[in-house]
A and B are shown apart, each in its own frame.
Chain A
Amino acid sequence: MGMRKVAVVGAGMTKFMRRAQETGRELAYQASKMALDSCEMTLEDIDSVALGTAPDAFDGLHMKGEYLSDGAGAWNKPYMRCYVGGGTGVFAAIQGWYHVASGLFDTCLVVCEEKMSSCKPHPQGAFLTIFDHTTERPLKPNLVWIFALEMNRYMTVHGLEKKDIARVAVKNKRNALDHPCAQLAADITVEDVLNSEVLAWPVQRLDISPTSDGAAAMVLAAEHVAKRITDKPVWIKGVGWSLDTAYWTNRDLYYPKYVESAARMAYDMAGIREPRKEIHVVEPYDPFDYKELHHLEGLLLCEKGEAPRLTADGVTARDGDMPVCPSGGLLGVGNPIAASGVMKLNEIFWQLRGEAGKRQVPGQPRTGLAQSWGDLMQVGCVVVLGV
């Protein structure tokens, strides 16, 4: 039986910033309103709402999804909140996809919101509570430590130097100069990254995306509705997600198997056999510069250990053969956790429609991919979009 086709027909986002004056509800409202306006729809046209937002501890709000519901346009509507930690953003689109693909609804508004600035003095305090309560939390780990372990392992296995990785931060922050919502756009050099403060070796300040407030939203519609709304629908061709074991200490961290597993699922659904040739623009999750490289390998877009060379050769530049994070990614645009995943999908949506303005990649891309990642270096979520 053929599956119901689902299209993205509208997209919106707030500015990503260190500290927003708006409440989480207001941020969710702004992004939703912009997404609806972009396709000339109103809430009356929306049958269901899928929400994504990451830890409740950021806002100190139990059942945060309930609190955000009216801001997300869910008043008197079927409304559900999904959750896969840092992977939530792209997963929310997958959740929206199954709402519409199930046949229960013709439209779904996907909204992701994050307000990290409520967490005082810093969201790292909330991140303390993500660790295993018996084996890890007593060590009082800082989140950056475990990524330092992973980055170190990745560098060691492939014999990489810091400069091989720092190029990603330089590229993405520069790309973000063209993004009107960007928080940390900058024209920096590899030396700037290498000279920035060491947080937990080998992670330095400019290797990391910021903490941010922000929201992003997209409108999904079934085929017959999408064709009525726009002559430029962007189809969800494939979705995939995978969650690996919680015992991250038992895994070899040099390669994200869960991302490969999610990618294979999405490629199967999209009928993609040679991802490197068939995918024209990529938005992998880049909360750290090494993660972009890690994820390109997990997504089977290059060989293991090859991603740094592609970056050095300019293949992943905006005008390269395979543009990666033309938006500026989380390193440049910012990282309000769940919202950043939808920001990535929105970027692919705008790129495929040729509406990305100064960020537009050359060559009229027809297929793009967004990916998110999270939990204890554990989950991969992949959405393939195409026109």
Chain B
Amino acid sequence: MRTVAIVGVGYSGFRSITPDLSYKELMYEAAAKAYEDAGVDPQRDIESFVSVAEDFNEGTSIFDEYVPDQIGGALKPVHTICGDGIHGLIAAHMQVLTGAMDIVMVEAHSKASNILTLTDVIAYAMEPIYNRPLGANPLFIGGMEMNRYLYTTDTSEVQCAQVVVKNRGNGFLNPSAAYGARIDVDTVLESDVVSYPLKQLEISSHADGAIVMVLASGEVARELTGLPLWIRGVGWSNETPSLETRDWEGATYARMSAQMAYRTAGIRNPWQEIDFAEIDDTFAYKELQHMEALGLCRDGEAGYLVEEGVTELDGEFPVNPSGGSLGLGHLLDAAGLGRVLEVVLQLRGEAGERQLEDVETGLAFGWRGIPTTSGAAVVLGV
């Protein structure tokens, strides 16, 4: 099989609001930076373009219409993936693997601040016949799942709150993060309960921004850059969107995504062979649940690892050094690509104040948010 590397990244953001920039300008800035970084000209060199978007988040039907111009893709192969940013990255990866393409780009963005009624938009993702008529705020799914997670794993609310403290603290060191802050556990625990036991500060706030990455096949990648970051493994999986029949405990989608990613990467012991991870933390408990499902620790162990500081920047296995979605801001469809971006910056040694030492292999995992059971993982290495 061919090898594929990330040879260029560019991003714009991340800020809680961007009244000065349209989504097209965010995309243009990210794309221009990524092409500069990779040393490629989009019309001349890039053979396929993948954008990641959902119509309702954009407020435009058939949103892929409005993609090609600002990324230099007009009259070229361009298509959209309705998924997480990591699904888009994998779509680009697969195209290079076929041998038909050598250079492919992926783009994802968020203009969440344009959405006046985000909760109502999410409610439109609910199953329309049995679930939507209940009229519940869809965040109840997060509350129910968190409750189940705490009950089955003996994880404490304090441990969940510690995830928030850690990630927003990491975000404080990240100049791109929209929600970096030094807060303490009590502040988190005392914040309003949104859907018991899920609290306001445990829910990531949304941010605007765009991320673009350029992928290239082995030899081309080596020509383009002295530091290609190899895509060692990919995996993605979908359990079931049905609230009635899904697994409420174990984040099966994450478990299966990881199994495939580790299999394709040839990883047997992720804790030993991976140096750090960027993991979806849309809700604080999700970081813990996902760590366990991704096989980074045993079930019920993640809370203790956080409590003991193992996942801090200077810990044995740092998790979300970027600040995660809690610190960086949740980037809607680009959230997973935000996780990948930090893995790239860390492996390149470009992570500034939050730079980890001696890291060679990193894992990124994205989840599509409620009410989905859809996740995607990628393992990158130098």
Contact = CB atoms under 8 A, between A and B. Distances in A.
Contacts of B240: 69-70, 75
B98 A3 contact: yes
Contacts of B94: 98-99, 101-102, 104
Contact of B68 (A56, A246, A374): A246
26 contacts: A54-B62, A55-B62, A61-B128, A62-B121, A67-B125, A69-B238, A70-B240, A76-B252, A78-B235, A82-B81, A83-B53, A85-B64, A98-B95, A104-B234, A127-B61, A130-B61, A241-B79, A242-B77, A243-B64, A243-B77, A245-B69, A245-B74, A246-B69, A258-B75, A265-B77, A374-B62
Interface string A91-108: 100010111011110000
Contacts of A59: 128
Given A54-B62, A130-B61, A104 B55 contact: no
B372 A63 contact: yes
A75 B239 contact: yes
Nearest to B374: A66
A66 B75 contact: no
Given A59-B128, A67-B241, A104 B65 contact: no
A57 B125 contact: no
B79 A84 contact: yes
Contacts of B127: 67
Contact of B61 (A3, A4, A56, A79): A56
Contacts of A23: 129
Given A55-B55, A102-B98, A84 B81 contact: no
Given A83-B80, A243-B74, A69 B65 contact: no
A77 interface: yes
Nearest to A86: B62
Interface string B22-66: 000000000000000000000000000100011111011110111
Given A241-B77, A243-B68, A245-B68, A78 B62 contact: no
B99 A3 contact: yes
A247 B69 contact: yes
Given A126-B61, A375-B65, A104 B77 contact: no
A240 interface: yes
Contacts of A132: 66
B201 interface: no
B100 A269 contact: yes
Contact of A133 (B56, B60, B100, B236): B60
Interface string A256-269: 01100110010001
B2 interface: yes
B305 to A, nearest CB: 27
B105 to A, nearest CB: 13
Contacts of A85: 62, 64-65
Interface in B289-338: none
Given A76-B256, A84-B64, A265-B77, A63 B82 contact: yes
Interface of B: 1-2, 49, 53-57, 59-62, 64-69, 73-83, 87, 90-91, 93-95, 97-100, 121-122, 124-125, 127-129, 234-242, 252, 256, 260, 264, 368, 371-372, 374
B97 A102 contact: yes
A104 B56 contact: no
Most buried by B among A76, A133, A245: A76
Nearest to A68: B241
A130 B55 CA distance: 9
A4 to B, nearest CB: 7
A190 B42 CA distance: 47
Contact of B124 (A1, A61, A246, A262): A61
A81 interface: yes
Contacts of A240: 77
Contacts, number: 196
Contact of A243 (B73, B87, B374): B73
A200 interface: no
B83 A65 contact: yes
A269 B82 CA distance: 27
B238 A242 contact: no
A83 B79 contact: yes
A34 interface: no
B79 A80 contact: no
Contacts of A70: 240-242
Contacts of B239: 75-76
B217 to A, nearest CB: 10
Nearest to A243: B78
A376 interface: yes
Nearest to B241: A66
A76 to B, nearest CB: 6
Per CB-CB distance, the 3 closest pairs between chain A and chain B, nearest first, are A102-B97, A243-B78, A102-B94
B280 to A, nearest CB: 15
A91 B79 contact: yes
A29 to B, nearest CB: 13
Given A57-B55, A245-B74, A62 B98 contact: no
Contacts of B75: 242-245, 257-258, 261
Interface in A207-258: 239-247, 257-258
A60 interface: yes
A60 B238 contact: no
A78 B261 CA distance: 11
A239 B98 CA distance: 12
Contact of B82 (A81, A104, A375, A376): A81
Contacts of A80: 81, 83, 87, 90-91, 236
A311 interface: no
Contact of B260 (A74, A78, A98, A129): A78
Nearest to A101: B98
A378 interface: yes
A376 to B, nearest CB: 5
A1 B121 CA distance: 46
A56 B372 CA distance: 15
A82 B121 contact: no
Nearest to B138: A62
